[in-house]
Amino acid sequence: MKIAFVGKGGSGKTTLSSLFIRRLAAHRIPLIAVDADINQHLGSALGLDEDAESAAVPPLGARLPLIKDYLRGANPRITSAATMIKTTPPGEGSRLLRICEDNPVYDACARTVPLEGGDIRLLATGPFAESDLGVACYHSKVGAVELCLNHLVDGRREFVVVDMTAGSDSFASGMFTRFDMTFLVAEPTRKGVAVYRQYKEYARDFGVLVKAVGNKVHSPEDLRFLREEVGDDLLTTFGQSDWVRSMEKGRPRPLSELENANLLALHTLHEAADAAYAGRDWNRYTQQMVHFHLRNAESWGNAKTGADLAAQVDPGFVLSEAPTPQPAELSG
Ligand SMILES: Nc1ncnc2c1ncn2[C@@H]1O[C@H](COP(=O)(O)OP(=O)(O)O)[C@@H](O)[C@H]1O
Ligand SMILES: [Mg+2]
């Protein structure tokens, strides 16, 4: 299950994704955590030492050539890593990723993080410099995540949780359509709600499942505000948390000591994520990656690589948990 936490800066994406990740870890549910936020704080929210340990996570953005070479495998439609762009879809011969496996991508980029008595893997795009925003470097860093998601075959009770921005980059590339469930973290403010509306607007045409999650909800008035503005899309809300506060002071406590109301909200997120499996459609998922690939090829990819990137699309290929029989096998 691919889960995104999005929202405006400071709304609590990193905090809520780290709590969700902790809950999964406490239940021994296999998962990969991905930090794709502009401010790379997921590692420290998961208890890594801010400077030393988080910085030691080898960023995906720095290993793009390795990632591309591994994923394209023996796919004859992708002639070189240089012609593989962030939206290049898998086809016959491509290598796919699984949540529970060892592979060269995880070997190169994943960090093992001890959490709630188990171990999880953490991937990170790498820090964004001010000068990265809006230019190729930023795209390629987040692009590594998109490539991985497009090559991932994940099953029902295993998770990828991505802490990411709600920026326009994810709309241009198609990244925002890569998730079974998108949790939009919104504070009870006009800005928080505006980000929700904008995201919802983009998502509508693509069948993207978005649920708003209120955060830093202090009062009945806050709750009323969110209910009025967001309506039925408001899944649940988190209050101001002393547990989160003490984390921030460098005094971590076990998840079981999180405030009851916030534990309950976490339970609701988990249930909603599980329920999203019913809406999963690998055909649509594959069609959308092709759609965005063709769009990106035309708008910049063909010009940048000097190749016709539409030719990378394998028309017979559908990403799927259970490999679908090839037409030859069906007729024979
Ligand atoms: N429910 C909460 N209770 C207490 N502090 C919170 C809560 N949610 C977020 N914060 C604090 O607000 C700040 C911004 O949260 P963060 O998760 O880093 O936001 P984002 O990742 O969206 O930029 C952090 O200092 C965080 O500890
Ligand atoms: Mg953050």
pTM (two decimals): 0.93
Instruction: Give dist(CA 119, CA 228) in Å, integer.
Output: 40
CA dist., res. 272 & res. 70, Å (int): 33
Q: Which ligand is nearest to the CA of 13?
A: 1
Q: What is the pLDDT of residue 252?
A: 85
pLDDT digits (tens, 9 = 90+) for 231-255: 999 999 999 999 999 998 888 899 9
Tokens standing for 65? 């050539």
Kindly give the distance from the C-alpha atom of residue 163 to the centroid of ligand 2, in angstroms, as a whole number. Answer: 7
Poorest-confidence range of 151-160, 224-233, 289-298, 323-332?
323-332
Whole-number mean pLDDT of the chain?
A: 90
Residue nearest to atom 15 of ligand 1 (CA): 12
CB 187 within 8 A of CB 216: yes
Q: Classify residue 272 by its DSSP letter.
A: H
pLDDT of residue 327: 52
Say how many Å lie between the CA of residue 321 and the centre of ligand 2: 31
Measure the CA–CA gap between 292 and 304, rounded to whole angstroms.
Answer: 16
Ligand 1 atom showing the smallest separation from residue 239 Cα: 1
| Ligand 2 (single-atom ion) residues, CB below 5 Å | 13-14, 37, 41
Going from the Cα of 155 to the center of ligand 2, the distance in angstroms, rounded, reads 27
Tell me the two tokens of residue 179.
């998730």
Hey, whose CA ends up nearest to atom 9 of ligand 1?
12
User: 324 pLDDT exceeds 50?
Assistant: no
**Rounded CA separation 125/58 (Å):** 9
pLDDT at residue number 138: 53
Contacts of 287 (CB under 8 A, 6+ apart): none
Tokens of 42: 């997921």
Q: Which ligand is nearest to the CA of 40?
A: 2
Give the pLDDT band of residue 54 (cuts 50, 70, 90).
low
- Please compute the mean of the pLDDT values over residues 300-329 and round it to a whole number: 85
Percent of the chain with pLDDT over 90: 78
Find the mean pLDDT for residues 275-302: 96
Q: Given the CA of residue 215, which atom of ligand 1 is nearest to it?
A: 1
Rounded Cα distance, 75 and 184, in Å = 36
CATH number for the domain that contains residue 121: 3.40.50.300
Lowest mean pLDDT among 49-53, 219-223, 266-270, 275-279: 49-53
Pocket perturbation via mutation, ligand 1, pick of 11, 15, 247 by most ligand atoms within 8 A of CB: 15
Mean pLDDT (whole number) for 21-32: 98
Structure tokens at 253: 């406590």
- Which residues sit opposite 159 in a β-bridge? 31
Pocket of ligand 1 (CB under 6 A): 7, 9-15, 37, 41, 215-216, 238, 240-241, 244-245, 248
The three-state secondary structure class of 328 is helix
The neighbour count for residue 95, using CB atoms within 10 Å, is 16
Residue 136 scores a pLDDT above 80: no
Task: Enumerate helices (H) and strands (E) in the chain, giving the number of each.
Answer: 14, 8
DSSP letters of 268-302?
Answer: HHHHHHHHGGGG--HHHHHHHHHHHHHHHIIIIIH
Distance 143 CA to ligand 2 centre (A): 18
Residue 129: the pLDDT is 56
What's the confidence (pLDDT) of residue 332?
A: 39
Compute the average pLDDT of residues 256-277. 98
- Total tally of structural domains belonging to the chain: 1
Mean pLDDT of 80-93: 96
Asked if 75 and 150 count as a contact pair (C-beta separation under 8 A), the reply is no
Q: What is the dihedral of CA 202, 204, 208, 211, to 10 degrees?
A: 90
Range of the domain at 128: 2-331
Q: Given the CA of residue 17, which atom of ligand 1 is nearest to it?
A: 17
- The mean-pLDDT minimum among 25-29, 220-224, 328-332 falls in 328-332
3-state secondary structure of 313: coil
* Contact indicator for 140, 82 with CB cutoff of 8 Å: no
